[in-house]
Each structure stands twice: as structure tokens, then as C-alpha cells.
Amino acid sequence: MSTMSTIVIRKLTQPPGGTMKIRPSIRVLIAMLVMACLSPFAMAVGTPAGTAITNRAQADYNDANGNALPTVYSNTVTTIVSQVAAVDVTPDTSNATGPQGTTVSFSVSVVNNGNGPDTFDLATVNDRTWTTRMYLDANGNGIRDAGEDTLVTSTTLLAADATFQLILEVDIPALTPINTAGISTLTATSQFDGTVSDAGVYTATTQDAALTVTKFVVDSPAYKPGDVITYAIEGANTGTAPAQNVVITDAIPANTTYVPGSIRFGTVASTYATAAAMTDAVDADGCDFNITNPGKVTMTWGEAKPAPDASSSGRIYFQVTINANVPIGTGVSNIAQIDYSIGGNAQPPIQSTSASFNVENLPGVDLSTTVIAKSANPGDVVTYPLVITNTGNAADVIDLTYTSSSGLVWQYWVDTDGGGIAGDNGDYLLTDTDGDGKIDTGSLNQNQSLSILVKTTIPAGSLDQSTDTLTITGTSSNDTNVSDTQSYTTTITAPILAVIKEVAPLGNQPPGTELTYTVTATNNGTGVATSVIISDFVPQFTTYVPASIKTGSSLATLVARSDAADADGAHYDTGNNAVVNTAVSLGAGGVFIIQFKVTIDN
């Protein structure tokens, strides 16, 4: 009858009304400002281009008698993710006003929403054939600053999720009638895939009241998760007639959180520190957060008269915190919206310039474990679990180093099957994947964890109650100042055997005297003593007394043993003229006694 081997196959995966007038005493301080109608940032489409997806299978099986046979592995298959183009032009629409014969400008962001690097061709068309120009906004503040004279017809090469900032200028011809609108369409087209494009529509209107609103980030040293960003919105009526019912709203950008109580008002020459503090509530200061317009900062400017009236210009500030875990390269873009009327007639809303930035790298490393201490005997294999997590906002390679107080050699095994046994079922040793001379995790994506087993063998002869303190350090390759540690303590439990022999009676004895020998073995260590054998040779000038052997764990419990080499645990070895016990094990504090008698020869 034939039998069939059992085969088990497992698959392994390889690696967010009414208007209100401000008191005249405050009007000097306030600007036409407050939080911008954010154009939501859309993340890049799908898995990054060029990502390798690898996979292999393994089979575990037994023979006909149930004996385990070596694991068999399949070949590895690899799929490379292809590039997909996508682009977003923000804002989708925007309005601006200006007197006849002037130039109005729009802040525009072009975001690469594809999954790979791409360059986008830029083109504008105006329905009235008004002259348009596109300039690089080198510092991304939404304003064409002095020296920003680089005309652009395409973006630079943008990584996935990266943002390109530009200024679109539109010239309103002289003698253009009031309320005439000129519509400019700006289109960004992918060079990787010419069928992929997006467009924004920007309307310039001639008005006697000309409101201009600029939004920018104030002196941010960095743009990392957890950083506080201070926004400033600066407004002015540069026209010749007043604007009424002016209300500015600004949505808190995606991937950020408003800092409560952070609204400030001041003149255009103010700083955040010198501007007057405003409340988040609806009250006489004319602004609020998340009340009139949920999720937005709202400011009621009221009437904005032309210069030199004190209400013609001002600045508002507020702060947000970049949320934790926002991926590196994420674009944060923010635009304020201004609603107003002229002569009692509501006008199309206008937008501020865009304040945009890309989130920077913030490395993070976390080492954690469920076990921090063990006891072990010399010769034992000791294994500790360790979970290494990339808590930063970008892919990272985490280098691993360790110190061992007793100089033990430790290994890092990837616990592929989660079984907790190093070296089985596809487990493998970590290596130096980036050639920097340190063993590492290989590349870990944001928030990805790697479970490993840290393993060593306790050397034979290690002293009882000696300890080894193992400290493992995981260090970010993106920033070597960022690291975390995990420590383990291993206590050695070794046996310490003491043997004492006694004779009775004591002192000088004549021939023919019967002597009783008692041998006591005690394990004074904390580890187990195994294979303990006492061999006691009968002394010269004496003769063994037959059937005199006794053994036990105390004098009160001694049990007689036969002289034969049988199963009772001790015997008289006639060939060697010795009393010998069968091997025993003694735990910590364990005692074994063997006793026998001899007669002094006549």
C-alpha cells in the first residue's frame, strides 16, 4: 500500500450673512484679510512609478511517516509599477479687479499628481486677447517680487506630489469700460503623456474699487510635521472708489490644524508679535474661527475706502500646525476668498495669492519589544523580539548597531513567519543593504514596521548570576541625528556544585573499625546541574562493607541501595573498587547524598 507525503503551501509577501463693521479705532490695524479658500491638495495617483513588487511562495511538507522535510521555495516574480500622469492647476477659478490701464495678477499652483517625475507645458489664452504673461514665483509667496522676471512656458521637472508656483499677469487695456471682464485660461499639459492636462480660469474685471489681497507664509524655518506655520494675508484697495461689505474667508489647509486663538490684526508694517490679538468668537473684533464658516477663519472688513484712508490696507495673521505623518513632498496650498459689493451691488468673489509649500522630510525611528529580560543557562540560545518602525514621513533605511556588556555576539533575524524562532520557515539574516558598513532594515516606507529576532548563544562556562545588557540602536539614514534604542538584560543561571565528605567515627581508629563515609553534593548556583555522578574509591587498607550503600536528599531520608548495577541509583563497582551513583540532576539548592561503609583491614 503506498502512502502520500503531506504538503502545505504558504505564500509570502516580500517586502486632511450679514456683514459686520469693525470699530473705527481698530480699522487702522486691520487688513482686508483672513484665511484662504484652500484648493484641496490631491495626492499622487497610486504606487510610485518604478516600484518593484516582488513575491515568492514556499512549501513545507512531511514524508509518509510524518517526518518534516526541508522547506522548498519557488522562484521570485517581480512586477515594476509603470508611470501614470496627472496634474492639478489651482485655483480652478479666481477673480481680480483693477482700474483701466493697469495689470492684475493671479497666483497659480501646478501640482504633479502623477506617480512619477513629470514636466508640464504651460499656455494661456485670453478671450479678449488681453496681454498675459507667466512668471516663475521662485519663493512661492504668491507675489511677483523684485527680481522675479523669469518668464515660463513650462514647469521644472516635478517629483510626484511636488508643486510649481507661478504668477499670471493680465494687462487691462486703457479706456476699458467699467465692469468689463477678461477671462484667461491657463492650461498645464504633461510632457510624459500629452493627453493629460488641467486648466484654471482667471477673470480680470475693470472696477473703480480695486481690491488686491496677498497671502504668504511668514518666516517659516521649515515645513515639517509638527511645525507651526504663520500665515499673513495682506489687503489693499488700490482703486478710486470704496468697496462695501468686504468679508474675507480662509479655509484651513488640508494636512494642517488651526492653532486656537492665533488670529492677529495689524498694519502692513506689523509683525505677528506686534499685531493685536483677536478672538476666535463672534464679537466686536470682526473675526472668528469655525463659527460663521465652519473650518475657516472669517474676517469682516466692512468698508474699504481708497488710499489714503486708514481702512485702505492692513494685515491679518493666523497659525496652523502641520499634521503628524504628512508624507514628504505633500503640497500644502492655501488661498483666501474676498466677497464684497460696490454701490450696493454684489461683485464676483476674488481670491488672494496662493501661499504654498511642500512638506519636508521628518525622519522618525521607533524600536519596541514585548520582552526585555530573560534568564538562561550556559549553552542556551537566547532570542528577543524587536519591532522596528519607520515613524518618519518618507521611506528610510534604518541602521542597526548594538553594544553587549559581556561581549556577546548577537544576530538580527527577520521573523518572516512570525513564529518567534530565528532561522526557520524562510527567516533570514539582515545585511548591509546600502553599503555604509552597518547592518540595516533595508528600505522601510512611511509607518512600515519590520519584526526581527535578536539571537545569541550563551557561552559555556559563563558565571552564575552574571548579566549581559544588550542595547540596540536604530538610526535613520535620512538624518543620523534621529535614533531610538531598546535594551535587554540576560541573567545567567549556572550551577555551582560543592562536594563535602565526612567520616564517622572521627579520630584515630584501630584495625577492624567500621568507618561510615558520607558524601554530600550541593548545587549552590541558580542553574540546573545535570549528570551529577559521585565516584568514591574505597581507600587502601580498607575493605568495602557489602550492602552498605545508601542515597537520598537528606540524612533523614537515606534509602539503602543494592551493590548491583541496577535501577536503584547506586552500586559497588567491583572492577574499580568504588561506590558510584547513577547520574542525577540538581536544581538550585538541590542536595544529593551518598553513604557507604568500609572496615579498616587487620
How many domains would you assign to the chain? 4
Residue 167: which domain range? 24-42+84-358
Residue 36 pLDDT: 33
Q: What is the pTM of this model?
A: 0.64
* CA 329/CA 43 separation, integer angstroms: 10
Question: Residue 444 in 3-state DSSP?
Answer: strand
Does residue 501 lie in a domain region? Answer: yes
Question: Residue 31 in 3-state DSSP?
Answer: coil
Question: Residue 556 in 3-state DSSP?
Answer: helix
Is the bond leading into 91 cis (omega within 30 degrees of zero)?
yes
CA–CA distance from 574 to each of 517, 544, 550, 569, 602 (Å)? Answer: 18, 10, 17, 16, 21
Residue that finishes a domain, picked among 358, 385, 407: 358
Does residue 552 lie in a domain region? Answer: yes
Q: What is the CATH number of the domain that holds 541?
A: 2.60.40.740
Write the DSSP assignment of 128-192 as a string of letters.
Answer: T---EEEEE-TT-SSS--TT---B-SB---B-TT-EEEEEEEEEPPTTPPTT-EEEEEEEEEESS
Residues 178 and 241 in one domain: yes
* CA 133/CA 125 separation, integer angstroms: 10
Greatest Cα pair distance, the chain, in angstroms, is: 147
Residues 283 and 174 in one domain: yes
Cβ atoms of residues 83 and 49 within 8 Å = yes
Cβ atoms of residues 356 and 39 within 8 Å = no
Cβ atoms of residues 534 and 592 within 8 Å = yes
Residues 342 and 487 in one domain: no
Residue that finishes a domain, picked among 358, 383, 410: 358
The grid cell for 209 is: 474699487
Q: Which residues lie closer than 8 Å to 340 by C-beta, 6 or more apart?
A: 209, 211, 243, 244, 245, 246, 247, 304, 346, 347, 350
Residues 58 and 94 in one domain: no
41: nearest Cα among 326, 361, 339: 326
Residue 434 pLDDT: 94
* CA 186/CA 165 separation, integer angstroms: 13
Q: What is the pLDDT of residues 19-64, one digit of tens each?
A: 333 333 333 333 333 333 333 344 566 778 887 777 766 666 665 5
Residue 221 pLDDT: 72
271: nearest Cα among 333, 324, 203, 317: 317
Residue 211 pLDDT: 85
Residue type (1 letter), 553: S
Residues 371 and 452 in one domain: yes
Residues 313 and 450 in one domain: no
* CA 274/CA 267 separation, integer angstroms: 10
Residue 43 pLDDT: 52
Q: What is the CATH number of the domain that holds 436?
A: 2.60.40.10
Does residue 430 lie in a domain region? Answer: yes
Q: Which residues lie closer than 8 Å to 72 by C-beta, 6 or more apart?
A: 58, 59, 61
Q: Which residues lie closer than 8 Å to 574 by C-beta, 6 or more apart?
A: none
The grid cell for 307 is: 488710499
β-bridge partners, 213: 235
> Hey, how many other C-beta atoms are within 10 angstroms of the C-beta on 209?
24
Residue 145 pLDDT: 92
Does residue 2 lie in a domain region? Answer: no
Does residue 336 lie in a domain region? Answer: yes
Residues 369 and 317 in one domain: no
Residue that finishes a domain, picked among 299, 328, 358: 358
* CA 325/CA 333 separation, integer angstroms: 17
* CA 41/CA 162 separation, integer angstroms: 11
Please report which helix (H) or strand (E) contains residue 224, including its range.
none
Does residue 243 lie in a domain region? Answer: yes
Residue 59 pLDDT: 62
User: End-to-end CA distance of the chain, in Å?
Assistant: 75
Residue 65 pLDDT: 62
Q: What is the CATH number of the domain that holds 266?
A: 2.60.40.1510
| Chain centre distance of CA 414 | 19
3-state helix, strand, coil in the chain (%, to 5): 0, 50, 50
Residues 282 and 174 in one domain: yes
Compute φ and ψ for 408, nearest 5 degrees: -70, 150
Does residue 254 lie in a domain region? Answer: yes
Residues 100 and 246 in one domain: yes
Residues 122 and 97 in one domain: yes
Does residue 1 lie in a domain region? Answer: no
Residue 501 pLDDT: 92
CA dihedral 417, 419, 423, 426 (to 10 degrees): -20
Is the bond leading into 459 cis (omega within 30 degrees of zero)?
no
Residue 39 pLDDT: 37
Residues 305 and 414 in one domain: no
Residues 264 and 299 in one domain: yes
Compute φ and ψ for 27, nearest 5 degrees: -55, -30
Pick out the chain residues at pLDDT < 50: 1-42
